[in-house]
Structure 1
């Protein structure tokens, strides 16, 4: 199995802030970007790279993911931080990137919205709960 690193959203922010080469790749769907929001890293002089890992509404794998990743990030050595809703799709994307030769693929373990609480709401952890900058799509 291909290994990659994991960071919390706060650790990911700190990495993006301290490392000029670090890139944030949001692998959620267009619908999620539009209706749930996106991380806002413009204060760091950076833009989120948005590449779907799976497609909406059927959830099928994006067959062009690695091709789109290479087009957006031709350097396989840049620290590449992957984000999804809760950390599962981004973990798979980081593993695929690592297998494809990206040497610093990093999963943001809690994702953008985080885990479910006892009421079924995503209010436990994640980028938004860490009070990191984000904007509505």
Structure 2
């Protein structure tokens, strides 16, 4: 009887350890550049499902540049408020010139309430993480990073075909709705 109880106890401990290890590994599976201070993460597929289940209570924010939103496509319900703007040319390091949107938090506060459920998307999940950290510092608490973004992560050939909104089966469009498109006014 004691051996049986000991076996059951050891088996229970092993299962608890396995569950804890699995939970920790799934948290650390998110790359550092996609992690946020709020620690709320969702895939594009899950984000669309969440939106479908409660469209009136779920907001989708696209923080890519206006050009990305317009020419690459976007989720049809996504509000575009760019975290950064794209300027013509390259800087001395041969990188894109992308100055920050100085009115980003003001624009967010005009559009959303602090307790709204906001799902934030960029191209692949890194800019949206930086955006969420800014939003959280302004008092927003229920903000999720769509960790695979609109275009998704790169495959072995460097193409963004692995996941993301456009590869998840969620709807996307090039059509523009004036109330969703960023306007600096």
Deviations 1:10-58 (A, max 9, x none): 1111111222211000000011011100112xxxxxx321100111132
Deviations 1:38-84 (A, max 9, x none): 112xxxxxx321100111132121111100001111x1001011000
- The unaligned stretches of length 5 or more in structure 2 are 1-35, 88-96, 176-185
Report whether the alignment pairs 1:36 with 2:75.
no
Report the number of matched residues.
130
Segments of 4+ moved more than 6 angstroms: none
- The unaligned stretches of length 5 or more in structure 1 are 41-46
Cα RMSD (Å) of the superposition? 1.3
2:61–2:118: 8 Å Cα contact kept in structure 1?
A: yes
- TM-score, structure 1 as length reference: 0.89
Greater helix share, 1 or 2? 2
Q: Greater CA deviation, 91-100 or 21-30?
A: 91-100
Report whether the alignment pairs 1:5 with 2:43.
no
Which protein, 1 or 2, shows the higher relative CO under an 8 Å CA cutoff with sep ≥ 6?
1
Larger radius of gyration: 2
Change (3 A) 1:30 1:110: same
2:51–2:58: 8 Å Cα contact kept in structure 1?
A: yes
